[in-house]
């Protein structure tokens, strides 16, 4: 047998000792683990491991569960880490600048979720415009027989859709909405070549020219509260906001005010600033669709995530190019 790459502490005659070591970094409240994904291919190091204090100083790969923060303190604690592998598309919980400074590579879920998020975003848009969930409540409440007709919806076709962030999710949303007869435009950090849709250099301009905004961009210091009072005023009383990005892309307090006052027409929200807390004022509104941050969750996307995570770790340990590295810009 080949000798293991690292010195073995006494009492761990594990045949898997040949496998590369991966630190599992998770907040205590995350009781679901993906350890069963990792264990066939890697050795796992967790705080509960008796050799943690030693091995944590030499481990090279960190597996970051969900929104567990990775910041300077984390990187100080694990000084040999060269690669951070995340489980989400959004990595606003990882200090990308700090990682870049220390030459630590970061990977995200890549495209694992894009289709499912795009499907969901379109579902939310149709729901808000055509009042699908509100009608479902109406019928379940036994009101159809009593109250008769229910308020009109608004036609999806012909609506001007402003996509904020034309990455893989945003592009898929556009592709799905075109056959509905929607008119697509977008804002992104940079204009994209070979894209047939009109580009607006600011979200404000996009909002002025849109009936609905669909937020598909990442949360960064530049995009925090991107959708603010001015943007919502530009969107107007008939405007709709769909958010499948991150709650903090929207000034949530302002959004609630606008919705309660009828200054915008409706919203479909999968994400919130302080999940799982949702502003209670929204519970009484019929023109809002609320979702518990699950735009990604299908069995298929979970499997794609598994492949992305294992693939990225395999590539790292083999000194090959990572599958879904997020570069600091």
Residues forming contacts to other proteins in the complex (CB under 8 A) are: 32, 115-116, 119-120, 122-124, 126-127, 130, 132-133, 135-140, 142, 144-145, 148-150, 152-158, 175-176, 178-181, 275-278, 283, 289-292, 294, 297-302
Q: Which is nearer to other proteins, 54 or 290 (CB)?
A: 290
Whether residue 156 contacts residue 180, with contact meaning beta carbons closer than 8 Å, is answered with yes
Catalytic annotation, pick one of 246, 252, 273, 304: 246
Q: How many CB atoms lie within 10 A of CB 229?
A: 15
275 given a catalytic annotation: yes
Q: Which is nearer to other proteins, 66 or 167 (CB)?
A: 66
> For tokens 């694992």, what's the residue?
112
Structure tokens at 39: 């264990």
**H or E element, residue 97:** helix 96-101
Strand order in the sheet with 43-45: 43-45, 21-25, 61-64, 83-86, 105-107
25 given a catalytic annotation: no
Whether residue 163 contacts residue 184, with contact meaning beta carbons closer than 8 Å, is answered with yes
At closest approach, how far in Å is the CB of 234 from other proteins?
23
At closest approach, how far in Å is the CB of 126 from other proteins?
4
At closest approach, how far in Å is the CB of 119 from other proteins?
5
Look at phi and psi of residue 66 and say left if phi exceeds 0, alpha if psi is from -120 to 50, else beta: left
Separation between Cα atoms, residue 35 and residue 41, nearest integer Å: 10
Strands 160-164 and 212-215: parallel
At closest approach, how far in Å is the CB of 201 from other proteins?
28
At closest approach, how far in Å is the CB of 79 from other proteins?
34
Q: Which is nearer to other proteins, 104 or 289 (CB)?
A: 289
Catalytic annotation, pick one of 176, 224, 293, 306: 293
Q: Which is nearer to other proteins, 57 or 307 (CB)?
A: 307
Whether residue 157 contacts residue 206, with contact meaning beta carbons closer than 8 Å, is answered with no
Catalytic annotation, pick one of 73, 275, 281, 303: 275
82 given a catalytic annotation: no
Whether residue 242 contacts residue 212, with contact meaning beta carbons closer than 8 Å, is answered with yes
Q: Which is nearer to other proteins, 3 or 277 (CB)?
A: 277
Which amino acids are annotated catalytic?
A: 246, 275, 293
């Amino acid at each position: 047998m080949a000798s293991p790459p690292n010195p073995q502490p006494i009492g761990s005659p594990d045949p898997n000792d040949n496998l590369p070591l991966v630190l599992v970094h998770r907040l205590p409240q995350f009781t679901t683990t993906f350890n069963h994904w990792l264990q066939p291919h890697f050795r796992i190091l967790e705080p509960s491991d008796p050799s943690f204090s030693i091995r944590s100083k030499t481990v090279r790969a960190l597996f970051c569960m969900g929104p567990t923060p990775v910041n300077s303190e984390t990187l100080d604690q694990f000084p040999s880490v060269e690669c951070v592998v995340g489980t989400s598309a959004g990595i606003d919980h990882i200090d990308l600048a700090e990682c870049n400074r220390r030459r630590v590579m970061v990977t995200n879920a890549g495209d694992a979720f894009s289709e499912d998020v795009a499907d969901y975003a379109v579902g939310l848009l149709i729901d808000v415009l055509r009042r699908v969930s509100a009608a479902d409540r109406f019928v379940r409440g036994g009101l159809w027989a009593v109250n008769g007709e229910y308020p009109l919806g608004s036609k999806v076709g012909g609506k001007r859709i402003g996509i904020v962030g034309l990455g893989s999710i945003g592009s898929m949303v556009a592709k799905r909405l075109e056959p509905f007869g929607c008119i697509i435009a977008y804002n992104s950090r940079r204009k994209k070549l070979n894209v047939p849709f009109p580009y607006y250099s600011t979200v404000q301009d996009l909002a002025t020219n849109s009936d609905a905004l669909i937020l598909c961009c990442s949360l960064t210091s530049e995009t925090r509260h991107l959708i603010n009072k001015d943007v919502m005023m530009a969107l107007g009383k008939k405007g709709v906001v769909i958010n499948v990005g991150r709650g903090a892309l929207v000034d949530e307090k302002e959004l609630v005010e606008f919705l309660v006052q009828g200054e915008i027409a409706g919203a479909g929200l999968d994400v919130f600033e302080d999940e799982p807390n949702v502003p209670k004022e929204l519970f009484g509104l019929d023109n809002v669709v609320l979702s518990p941050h699950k735009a990604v969750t299908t069995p298929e996307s979970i499997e794609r995530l598994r492949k992305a995570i294992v693939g990225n770790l395999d590539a790292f340990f083999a000194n090959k190019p990572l599958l879904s590295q997020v570069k600091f810009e």
